[in-house]
Amino acid sequence: MNNHINKNAVYIKLFLATLFFGSTLVAGRVMSANLPPFTSAFLRFSIASIFLIVFVFKKYGKFPRINFSQIILIIFLGMTGIAGYNFFFFSGLKSITASRTAMIISLNPSVITILSILIFKDKFTKVKFAGIILSLVGALIVISRGNLQEVFRGKIGLGELFILGCVISWAIFSVLGKIIMKQLKPIIAITYSCLAGTLILLVPAFLEGELLDSAHYNLVVWSSIFVLSFFGTTLGFTWFYEGINKIGPVQAGIFINFVPVFATALAVLILNEPLYPSLIIGAVFVLSGVFLNNYRPKQKSI
């Protein structure tokens, strides 16, 4: 009975974690309209780092010592998944909707699969290939607003290019993360990466000239910062990796499929973003591709 209750609690946390991940696109859209990208990213992760440090000390009592090679890897994680990803994220959200952003970011699993095949020689199956193709077609439909000829003519907006930069940054971060997370617990690796990324973001954020005016930010901006830092980063990552630990990466990874769905629904409900047919059609392709990428055939019992 207790095991059943514990498993249900894990599923609820995973469901909420993906809801929080989806909410970051709505909060990011609000922040990008009020603050420059480096400032937005720095505020998100400086506050998230504080929460994460508290979480780590509460759970483990201390931080493990890390060696030189791990420090170098953590710096690269901070550059790609924290500083790079969030610069592209907030820059892109200045000009395109949260729902379109969500569908383009849904390419992440396919790009990660490609990099894993190239770098780690992961097994490449026909199902994975079909998933990658479906995801790419869906993303192209979303990016081109249903007119694929625009892509071949090079008529892709700067916002879409920035969000594609997000996808590449996160894919590199994820592949590097596979290496570091064999040596450190996931939440500790994430905390170190957030600290590294925050330090990298400090100078460019300061040069943008908005940090010193933080006392004048309105309630909406501060609410968005809190959603991004606490719910979308600290709680989201903590619960997601807790789920990976309890039920495994394959089952937990399936919940990521909910992120673009939640992001789109929240964008329509909160930001009144329009729901274009091309977005819906693209979403079907992308989510089908993500499903195939995560599909694992059941082993036959003997």
pLDDT digit string (tens) for the chain, length 302 residues: 555 567 788 888 888 988 998 899 999 999 999 999 999 999 999 999 999 999 899 888 888 889 999 999 999 999 999 999 999 999 999 988 888 888 888 777 778 778 877 877 767 778 878 887 887 788 778 877 677 666 556 567 788 889 999 989 988 888 888 788 788 888 898 899 999 999 999 999 999 988 888 778 899 999 999 999 999 999 988 888 777 777 766 566 667 777 888 888 888 889 898 888 888 888 888 778 777 766 666 554 44
pLDDT of residue 138: 80
- Residue 183 is given by DSSP the state T
With contact defined as beta carbons under 8 Å apart, do 112 and 174 qualify? Answer: yes
DSSP 99-132: HHHHHHHTTHHHHHHHHHHHHH-----HHHHHHH
Measured CA to CA, the distance from residue 175 to residue 120 in angstroms comes to 9
pLDDT of residue 203: 95
Measured CA to CA, the distance from residue 133 to residue 135 in angstroms comes to 5
Would you state the structure tokens that stand for residue 189, as one six-digit string?
């690796």
pLDDT of residue 302: 40
Residue at 92: amino acid letter: G
pLDDT of residue 197: 95
Domain ranges across the chain: 2-103+159-274
Report how many helices (DSSP H) and strands (DSSP E) the chain contains, helices first. 15, 0
Q: What is the pTM of this model?
A: 0.83
pLDDT of residue 260: 81
Would you state the structure tokens that stand for residue 155, as one six-digit string?
């008529």
How far is residue 212 from each of residues 205, 217, 226, 227, measured CA to CA in Å? 10, 10, 18, 21
Best CA proximity match to 35, nearest among 193, 298, 228: 228
pLDDT of residue 40: 94
Measured CA to CA, the distance from residue 46 to residue 233 in angstroms comes to 11
User: For 57, what's the count of Cα atoms within 13 Å in the CB-facing half-sphere?
Assistant: 6
With contact defined as beta carbons under 8 Å apart, do 256 and 236 qualify? Answer: no
Tell me the torsion sign for CA atoms 194, 53, 180, 230.
negative
